[in-house]
Structure 1
Amino acid sequence: MTIAPVPPTFDARRSGPSALVLRHDAGIGLGNVATTLASRGYAVTTVDTPTGDVAGVDPLAWDVVVALGGEEGAYETERYPYLAREIDLLAARAEARRPILGICLGAQMLAVALGARAWRGDVHEVGFVPVDLTPDGVGTPVAHVAGVPMMQWHHDTFEVPVGARLLATSPSYPQAFAVDDWLLAVQFHPEVDDAIADGWIERWADDVAHLPGVDAAALTTAKEQHLAAAQRASRAMVGAWLDGLAGTVGR
């Protein structure tokens, strides 16, 4: 399922609904979102962008593009040149108003692709944090996660682009924005499942143990308390977003 690079002449639409996933780390994968894509019949192709050349990929050959998270910052394009190529791909796709889902780093790259700014914030937001709707978030797919503690693991944040609607916030940061029905960007992690959460705790809990109430034991306890509800809410959110694309896929 993972290829690098994608042949530039590939047309995924020939075989039905298709999703191109831009992945930056094997430990930050599609996870819970894969279940929802599969339930809607999407064929998924994943490109590991640090090693896969996305510069030759046709940004319009896919029904949906999903940009996942990563340790990189969307503002670190000189350090990670592949991010610049991803941002170009997202910008070209956005110009054509083709469906995109951005998660964490993916959301930050989408903000940059739409002319806004991403930067390292003042607060390191880690663990399960409730998401609060804005008035513009009511009645949108993001309403499915309202009040549900969602997995967060980030220090970076973004400016909401001009023309986008801020749908949700946390106490520290914007959490979701949208453009019409075709673009959804979320700072929290709807993809996190048991395996991903366990992997993150094993890899990075020591890095955040200085934060109040955040260590491996606390994160594991929070996972046991909140992950099942977060996964259900995430599947409902992503499913509602995909269902709202009716008439735009496969064309």
Structure 2
Amino acid sequence: MTATIQSLWRHPIKAHGRESLDEVALIAGQCLPGDRVWAVAHEAARVDGTEWVKCGNFTRAAGSPQLMAISARTEGDRLVMMHPDRPDLRFDPEADEAAFLDWVRPLMPDGRAAPTRIIRVPGVGMTDSSWPSLTLCNMATHRAVEQKLGHELSIHRWRGNIWFDGFPDWAEFDWIGQQVKIGEAILQVRERTTRCLATTVNPDTGERDADTLGTLEQNWGHKDFSVKAEVIQGGQVRVGDKLELL
């Protein structure tokens, strides 16, 4: 059985915007190129930019839901950040930190630790795992959650990297410890992805409007969606490529 890659996504600044890709060159031992390159440390963070640290050190949509409505576009060494309630911002994360912080602060709720700086650790993606991961998301599983909720959901609630269609719902959970071939690349599937309150937020509006976590817990006995994988053989991956279990 094989599946087809439906879409590819990266999130240049952790929890601050998604970007669609037509193709990407995966590299062994690295996250999806351009994904979670930066993260936004808050005033209570314990981080110095020298190593990977846990997500609790960064501003995230779990506590600041309006961040979910950000989309992004890469233009050379600059990013364009877009949000329905803010003017577009074109900036260099390495040089224009103050401009970004001024842009994002109005999206933060009262009482949350304020964002203070952009962090980058060279060669390390600021994913939620201490190892270089990317997420594989099954469209059939997404549709199963929609069916239980009784309405459509945007796939962007899950902030996934590689979306595929063609396998039964929840089949990906049986792949732990196995390898998959996607386009020219081979990945090792390592673990399930436990989800947080960010998935309850509508990515179009930044408002909480769906009990995704309760739906997962009540119907399947967990709060997991998608699997995390590591690239063990690099290669080009394109929308429309096949995914097969090895």
Instruction: Give the TM-score, by structure 1 length.
Output: 0.27
Larger RCO, structures 1/2 (Cα 8 Å, 6+ apart)? 2
Please identify which structure carries the higher helix content: 1
